[in-house]
Structure 1
Amino acid sequence: MKQPLALFLFAIATATVLPAHAQLLPQSQAPQGNQPLDRIVAVVDDGIILQSELNEAMRSVQQQYASDPSQLPPQDVLARQVLDRLILMKLQVQRADDQGIHVSDADIDQAVAAVAQQNKMSPEQLRAAVEQDGSSFVAFRKQLADQLVAQRLHESVVRDQVSISDSEINNLLASPTYKAGEVHLSHIQISVPSGGNAADIEAAQKKAQQAVDAIKGGMDFKAAAIRFSDAQDALDGGDLGWRRMDEVPPAFVDSISTLKPGDVTAALRGPTGFHILKLIDQRAPSRQVITEYHARQILIKPSELMTPEQARQKAEDLYNQITTKKGDFTKLAKDNSKDDTTANAGGDMGWFPQQAWGGAIAQQLTTLKDNQVSQPFQTEAGWHIIQLLGTRQSDRTNDIERDQARQAIGNRKAEQAYDDYLREMRSSAYINVLVPELRDPNLPNGGQSGTGKS
């Protein structure tokens, strides 16, 4: 049986970070025959969302869950969820355009190739699959372009707002709340609008409690996320994947620490609204012991005064001097090597992990015994001669822990910064859902706003 395209292409159009296996929303074709004319279902600042776009997005999500349609909420709830994400994507693309953020055809071609590779296809086969599924490949590329633009907007916001100091890393590692290890989490997020009032908070809390009650009543967490969550990953069942404990917001760490796999928290109040977390699995930290190498090198670079062939011949001559004991490696490196970081030290590269100097040098190291000198080999930098001086096993747990702490703080700040940005963007935008049944009954004014562009 033919596998639906939506099973191996994304069915969600609101991801702000584009993975290699990007899921996409194929867009609809123009009405044909006696099909009714399209209608506008929502106005979003200067843009619109058509019924055909919503229908196609709905169809893609339904195909994605075709093997287990019970995970999906009722049709009206799903329509509101999908429309909400289409609105969010529209706003991100508009904001990016205002900031001069664009993508080129070459960028889109590269992304199409990545999607095709992830699905074990050529770009031509991917195009055929999209069109066979009844969708326009031009619209497919436009959808992919929108996701790329949203990704670059995300990068721009995070770059401008996120910085990490050594003191923050030290404070995190020294904190009594710091927990090592990793957890696999899913979540449901009920956001409070930026600048929300007491009525907004009460409505969000009520919706969060409805989600908690539904889960306690037997609803699968993934289905509850699809139905209730307004996070961007809601239609993926709220799966956050594996995260180190130091990446989890501190306000939630204590609650997660008491859970066993399969347990679900109560509705937790956070800075952006209410969160419900499920612990899927957890794993303990391990020591990080790696092999380090001590080596020295001579690098001969071609230049205006030395052709590539002359560089090769000089490297061969130096190699012969070293191996026949007619030249001292340290002196030859000081006199001849063009590597600015090691030449003055007689070519000494110090102790380093295998890949620290690139794949070509790493490959040579695995072939050498202690004190053995490699034959000259070529990289983009020029011709190298490497001598392996020794190896050792090094416990890098502390160094890696600091790197992970830096990354965790950065990820946490980035996530918070962009979430705040999206909430502010939505609150200040003009959003008018024209179809009454598509308005969210749990939010004041159906979640609409009218403070944006005129």
Structure 2
Amino acid sequence: MSDSLQRKLVRHAVALAVAGLASLSASGALAQSTGNQASKPAPTQAKAKTAAKPKAQARKAPARKATGASTADKAKAAGAAAGAAAVAAPAASATVTGTSGASAAPSAKPRQADYIVALVNSEPITNNELRARIARAQQQLSQRNVAMPPEDVLRKQVLDLFISERAQVQLAKEMGLQVDQLTLDQAEASVAQQNDLPSTQALHRALRAEGISVQDFRADLQRQILLQRLRERAVEARVKVTDNDIDRFLREQAVQQGVQSVPEVNLAMILIRVPENSSPAEVAKLRERADEADKRAKAGEDFAKLAAEYSQSTNQGRDGGELGLRPVDKYPALFVSATSRLGVGGVTDVVRSDAGFHILKVIERKKGAMPTVTVPQTHARHILLNVSSPSDEASALERLRDIKRRVDAGQADFADMARQYSKDGSAKDGGDLGWANPGQFVPEFEQVMNGLAQGQVSEPLRSRFGLHLIQVLERREQPLSETDQRALARNILRERKMAEEYDVWAQEVRGRAFVEMREAPQ
């Protein structure tokens, strides 16, 4: 292999965790596309229409990869998510651990007598399990050319992470979360694909060649998926992204691209000056004059004429009181605040400043330019079969495999099969999902779709909505609209906040667990 297999497995495990966190940034499967409904399990997400017809199931709000200035920021968000996820789910590597955490790689040192180093809610962590984790951590640090901490420091860090993970696994089991066989098979196939291996059998041979037990590797992968699902359920409800968050993020992106992103506004003003040391009676009289001008302006009289009549600004209102089109941050904060909710033509109430009384009218508004963001889009179609029992799943799998054989052999048309068999809202369109942005589908669907060549039909795969076949029709690079950019920004920010919230949540789970540390036997 051109790259070390265990290094790629590390990348895959982190990517798995990131994909899990990224899936929280938008809900459900297929969002509405060419008339299809959104199917979104999380109530905190975008609206889902209630209609009697079947929903298009596999989409979620746009997210993930983008080129341009957003790409770098997206990478930072993904890195933060990966870091958070890796805390609780150490990546699979050459020393992949099984369910018990035992290492599959031989140790150069003689095996020591085993003993319990910690109890987590009465479940033991043994010295051999811990030593395997430490060996794996040392290997990963070495691969990344990271300076090795002192042995006692590394042991404490690894044990803390191990305890946190064990507490989370226990919580997942208490909540009844499980990983079915088909999902595990799909994850394993994804590992093979990311390692440029033609099949899971080839992956198994490569694992064995590097001394990694396939059974332990699958157990570790299963545990990671279980923890990913737990985090999806536990962290998503904690995260909220406001419109102000999105506006600020887009301005930051525009600045990085050198784009003028600050909105501009042209205001007209009438100023009734209040001289210093004016008596209360004089101030009251000037306020009456300002109120009179404001009332006439709101009644629809020509503002420019009123400015010429009343205003005591530098030009005495001869310019109609216009202050000129300029970025909002170049106006006094008082003016911006007073006019922020007004549309073009709106007139404020009387506003008091140190200079006197102001009446402001919004003459013109211009939005700030959006940064240029280009994303790869995929045009695909799919067939969805619902399953509610193991027997349903077996028959659905066989049907999809038969459809794939017939389509691959040229004996059937994918669109015709979708119209006949698919239980998705897209069935009437031959399963056509339209053009989709990155992150628009749930991770388990998108991961398989992204690995397909144009025209290729996938093997049957499971998502939270059922069993699918996917066929990719076309791919292209496409600039994002303003609406899509805001949706993308929302998901980037959601991933960032989830990474931060994950740390808090993980500490809470650890704090609720009963942990007893044990000393080594003398």
> Could you tell me the TM-score, scaled by structure 1's length?
0.44
Q: Higher relative contact order by CA 8 Å / sep ≥ 6: 1 or 2?
A: 2
> Could you tell me the TM-score, scaled by structure 2's length?
0.39
Larger radius of gyration: 2
